[in-house]
Structure 1
Amino acid sequence: MIDKPPKIMILYASYGDGHLRASKAVETCFHSKGIKDVVLLDLLAEAHPMLNELTKFIYLSSFKVLPAVYGAAYEITKDLPPKASFLRALNFFGTGKLKEALHLHEPDLVIHTFPQMTLPGMIKKTGRSLPLVNIITDFDVHARWLHPEIDRYYVATEDMKREMINRGVSGDRILASGIPLRPDFCHQPEETAEFRIKLNPDKKTVLLMAGAYGVMQGNRDICRTLLEKGDYQILAVCGRNRELYKDLESRFGEYPDFHLFGFVQEVSLLMQASDCIITKPGGITLSEALACRLPIFLYRPVPGQELNNARYLRNKGIAFIAEDAPSLCQGIDTLLLDEDRLSLVRAEMENLRRPEAAEVIVNDILEKWFGSETRKAPVEIGSARPRLVIH
């Protein structure tokens, strides 16, 4: 226990957008409790910027070129022991920058939202006592997240907790908290009603999210198939992919039921205004959809953690996987026109949705290590967020 607000460091990575979104959600929750000294560090980008850009390029390219190669590498390394040479080599990157950051910020606790386990071995060598926690941002457990020096794991589901126990992690070090989300996923924002008015009330709304970098394939075919059917209006989010934005705008911009967006911060507004989502199965986006009770359709998930995420939710009866646009459209028709089946899907979602995961995680950290009464403070929901408007 300490007699002053703790200093928190969060280590993340800029692959996709999910690790940063999880980090920001936790940071926001700490701030709401009066703990302002929270530092976010993109370790690999700071330590090895050229290597970071190269590996990010390879990761993003894996969605288009030879995704099976990435998937094979993921599966081969999935069950490696923590002392495996491959993992130890990966965990060496960023050592120098991390030493500088620890000296500069002197954190009282470090959180990982990306599986770069450089710190545990480094801390062990110094003999210093520093609590280390991992927030796993997928619905799948990979060996890169597991390390004997991690004090606490926060995972998406009880199934993940059981799997980690089977792999030798003590159960008292694991909390099935859910994946941390921004506060606007905990409560329906006031803007939603206004946002819905701008949509056609006679048509179902399909939210198409191609990922933060717009890497999901098949967007053009999906939009064409849905629009030609005439029963749906589409909210298409291209992320930071300007080429995708321009392509969809040129092809479908004249359709009155097609609404196009680039990178969107207020995702909760779009989700809560929609009847279903088509997306790539990143852990954060899936958790956001679950929080909004939004039926999930996953299009051609790439091998690796995203395919495993997709299969997990499919096996739970929550998500639907499609390999082509016609079968995707048929799946949407089948679900949205069957109220009984839709009710069953949403009932299953209740078993997995954890919209207040950030609050659970922060409260647990404060109680376990700092004995802080600030853990009882509610999360403050900001009221000055920009409104999304469809033109």
Structure 2
Amino acid sequence: MNILILTGQFGMGHVVAAQAIEQEILRQDPTASVVVVDIVERCAPQLRRLVYGCFDFTVNYCSGVYNILNRMAGHCSCSPMKRTMVQKVDQMLYDSQADLVISTLPLSSQYISAYKQTTGSSIPLYTYVTDIEAHNEWIAPETDCYFVGDESTRQQLLRRGISPERVVVSGIPVRQGFHPVPRPVDGPRELLVMGGGLGLIPHADTLLSALVATPNLHVTVITGKNEALRRELQQAYPSFTVLGYTDRVAEYMAKADLLLTKAGGITTFEAIHAGTPLCLLRPFLMQEEANARYVEQHGFGTVLWQKGYEVETLLALLQSPEELADMRQRMAVSLRSLDLVTPLDYFWQSRRKAAC
């Protein structure tokens, strides 16, 4: 069976989700042929640096502009160069001989949907929504199944007319290796600080400076691909463990008593799988606001909403083992409620129904 997973580097979350899906498929069927493709790099390689560069700049320095553009896209779904991209998709599907297409990116879902509408193709399209908020861009008319993170996301899709049998509440996909391990009762508390793939840690100086003087606390900071920030923090906080990009995130998360991070969908569910309570930085991107409220409502962590009280809130949580234990318990209960249907399960179930 040939499976094509489409993604893009608008942040690292979509790519990490694609990697997690690939791992799950190969675990279930080692004979499957799975190819992960960056749709921008494959279909518009000459625009790759411009597209991703503009995205990174906007998120880093113009988050307000990003949110405005995101809201506009929600009111009028726009897939640029649709006619040209349909031709590119046709060639890509021919080259891959795909039996199934999985998308972790709204743009690729829109392009595959446009391809199916234009050509009459019946190739199955499954979309993984990588945030709790199902933004309108995720809705592509020719999507056969949506895999979503929470029941609230499912309800959003149902209100938009998606039939219940086409929505699976499976959680946002997480790579293998994220699972709880026993935490030592004694010893220093372990705080893990992460800024996502772009290394965005708002108000880092204020928070980290306060943590330096906190007794019985060890801090590990992962800055992702932000090498400039890694060097800066390494020099400013020699007592901390400061890392750049690493493939050992699961290991660091497993031994942390608390994770201080942005409210990204992937990181949130990695923490839930690892049983690591969350302290979320105040969101500044609109999709992160929904993720943060999800964490708060389910009792998986706390959100630093109130300016000026970030340090106080963070330290109070670190010094409350009972509250942290309750958060870990809530995470474990939530995982048991997820639907275990995988893309392969859904594919073969659909084939059997069609044959009847």
TM beyond 0.5: yes
- Aligned CA RMSD, in angstroms, stands at 2.6
SS in 2 for 1:133: strand
Evaluate the alpha carbon distance shift between residue 217 and residue 337 of structure 1 in structure 2; reply closer, same or farther with a 3 A threshold. Answer: closer
Tell me what 1:150 maps to. Answer: 143
- CA deviations 1:44-78 (Å, max 9, x no partner) are 12222343322322322233322112112223433
Does residue 97 of the first structure (1) align with residue 55 of the second (2)? no
The within-5 A match list for 1:1-391 is 6-32=1-27, 33-78=29-74, 80=75, 84=76, 86-89=77-80, 94-116=85-107, 117-186=110-179, 202-253=187-238, 255=239, 258-322=240-304, 327-353=309-335, 360-369=341-350
Evaluate the alpha carbon distance shift between residue 281 and residue 104 of structure 1 in structure 2; reply closer, same or farther with a 3 A threshold. Answer: same
Evaluate the alpha carbon distance shift between residue 228 and residue 91 of structure 1 in structure 2; reply closer, same or farther with a 3 A threshold. Answer: farther
Query: Contact 1:134/1:154 (CA < 8 Å) preserved in 2?
Result: yes
- CA deviations 1:295-330 (Å, max 9, x no partner) are 111113222212221123223332322268962332
Take 2:213 and 2:308, find their aligned partners in 1: how far apart are those partners? 11
Evaluate the alpha carbon distance shift between residue 355 and residue 9 of structure 1 in structure 2; reply closer, same or farther with a 3 A threshold. Answer: farther
Q: Give the TM-score taking structure 2 as reference length.
A: 0.89
Query: Contact 1:109/1:132 (CA < 8 Å) preserved in 2?
Result: yes
Unmatched tracts of structure 1, length 5 or more: 1-5, 372-391
Deviating beyond 6 angstroms after TM superposition, the runs of 4 or more aligned structure 1 residues are: 354-357
Take 1:219 and 1:92, find their aligned partners in 2: how far apart are those partners? 44
Moved more, 114-123 or 294-303: 294-303
What letter corresponds to residue 25 of structure 2 in structure 1? F
Query: Contact 2:178/2:254 (CA < 8 Å) preserved in 1?
Result: no
Report the CA distance between 1:370 and its aligned residue.
5.3
Query: Contact 1:14/1:42 (CA < 8 Å) preserved in 2?
Result: yes
- CA deviations 1:235-291 (Å, max 9, x no partner) are 1101111101110111112x2xx1111111121110111010111111110100111
SS in 1 for 2:317: helix
Take 1:92 and 1:114, find their aligned partners in 2: how far apart are those partners? 19
Q: Whose RCO is larger (CA < 8 A, sep 6+)?
A: 1
SS in 2 for 1:183: coil
**Number of matched pairs:** 349
Take 1:274 and 1:297, find their aligned partners in 2: how far apart are those partners? 12
Q: Give the TM-score taking structure 1 as reference length.
A: 0.82
